[in-house]
Structure 1
Amino acid sequence: MIAWRKLPAWLLRAWPLLALVPFFAVHAVALNAFQGQATWVHKIIGLSLQLLGGLLVLWSVNDNLGLFRKTSLAGTFMAWLRDFPTTNHHLILATNGMANASGSAAVVSVGRKTPTSLEERVAELELLLQELRAELSTKITNLAMRVEASKTELSDLIQATDGKIASLSERVEKVTIGGFKVQAFGVLLAIYGAITSVLA
């Protein structure tokens, strides 16, 4: 059984074919109105349809370039003209300046008294141990902060990559579905125009 409510949406999926119907009607009306000039009607209709079909294909290609390369056919053509090889060489002179800076820094060394007795040596070792523990604790804290920053950066990078993949997927879907139909319609118009020109 036919689902009549879904029929219009199903027919609109084939709009490149349905859009040819008005052109058929215009062609038939023109032939009926200018019965003695059928040859000229075929030539004008054929030329117009071929031009319109070619322009539609170019427009679709231009739209696809804008989606992926952020450029257009006109921009690509202008870039090609700018890259024209010429024989003029521009001499660029660069002057290199050198500046020497000298500075001095005073190094202050703090010395400790060399322990002589056993108690002094034990106290010195305890002091060194405390310093090493403090330094190790600082390094561990810094390392933990770096790891946490790397995790955050990696998470942001993954999210940005996911967003780019989703955007690229949408662009590919738009090109394969929407762009293909426009190009198919343009090709059909060009074919119809070529057949009409042959009939003339």
Structure 2
Amino acid sequence: MLLLGISAVICIVLGMGMPTSGVYVLLAALVAPSLVEAGIDQIAAHLFILYFGMMSMITPPVALAAFAAATITRDDPLGTGLAAMRVGWAAFILPFVFVATPEILMQGGWAGIALNLGLALIGVGAVTAGIVGFWGNRLSMVLRLGLVALGIVTLPLGFLPGAAAWHIPAALAVVALAVVLRLRARAGEKTNQGRRTT
């Protein structure tokens, strides 16, 4: 975990202001070999460095993509970069999922691949809804925190001790909560339509 964390920071710093191909070539030569020697799968290691190398595009203070978007929208560049990081949070955690769960990279049996992809989708969806604060309707702070916590537990991060036992229950809780929120949103829509007609 320490090596992955240090590598992530190095990839973001070295990737600042560089095009995709240049970032990958540089990081494949400087960072990927140490990850592979530490026992990480080659595909996972190279996807890890590629993802984090490109995160400099939305990570202040450089955040070239965010600054370009801010120029178009005539908004605050730093605020746009922070908003991009908030919405694009999944790109910061998925490289760790690649390393921890080879099934996400289509390595292993079909049952494991389908299960872990489902867990990843549910987890990312839950955390994103919690961060954005909307799922059919605006969410209260308690619901947002609950979705973020459940989503993080759902993500198939295999190297966390004892986490595997909690993935499926957390995913089921997210699905149940999503159904309840959706039904509540529909009930609210019908109530509003009834008021308009009267």
TM range (shorter): under 0.3
Larger RCO (CA under 8 A, 6+ residues apart): 1
TM-score (norm 1): 0.23
TM-score (norm 2): 0.23
Higher gyration radius (CA): 1
